[in-house]
Amino acid sequence: MQFSRFSRHNKGETVLEVLIAIFVISMMIMQAGQLQISTIRHAKLNEYALISDQLSSEGVEAMKAFVASNRLRFSSKPKCWDSLPSATLDDCERNKIDVATYALHRDPVTLGWSLLASVNGDFAAQMSSLVVAGIRAECSTRAAENFRVMLYESPSEYPADCTRVVPANVARYNSLYYSAPNSSDAYNRGRQTPYYRGVQVREIVSNGERTGLEMDVLVAFRYIGEYRYKKSTIVIKQKSFN
pLDDT in tens, the chain (242 residues): 444 554 555 555 677 777 777 777 777 777 776 666 666 666 788 888 899 999 999 999 999 999 999 989 998 898 899 999 999 999 998 999 999 999 999 988 788 899 999 877 778 877 777 655 444 444 556 778 889 898 876 555 554 444 444 555 555 556 788 888 887 777 777 777 889 999 999 999 988 889 999 999 999 988 877 788 899 999 998 875 44
pLDDT value of position 214: 94
The per-residue pLDDT for 152 is: 73
Query: Rounded CA gap, 219 and 227, in Å?
Result: 10
Give the length of the chain.
242
Buried b (16+ CB within 10 A) or exposed e, 46-63: eebeebbeebbebbbebb
Give the pLDDT confidence score for residue 35 in this predicted structure: 67
**What confidence score (pLDDT) does residue 45 get?**
81
- The answer to whether the beta carbons of residues 221 and 197 sit under 8 Å apart is no
Global pTM value: 0.75
Between the alpha carbon of residue 64 and those of residues 81, 90, 217, 238, the distances in Å are: 11, 22, 12, 12
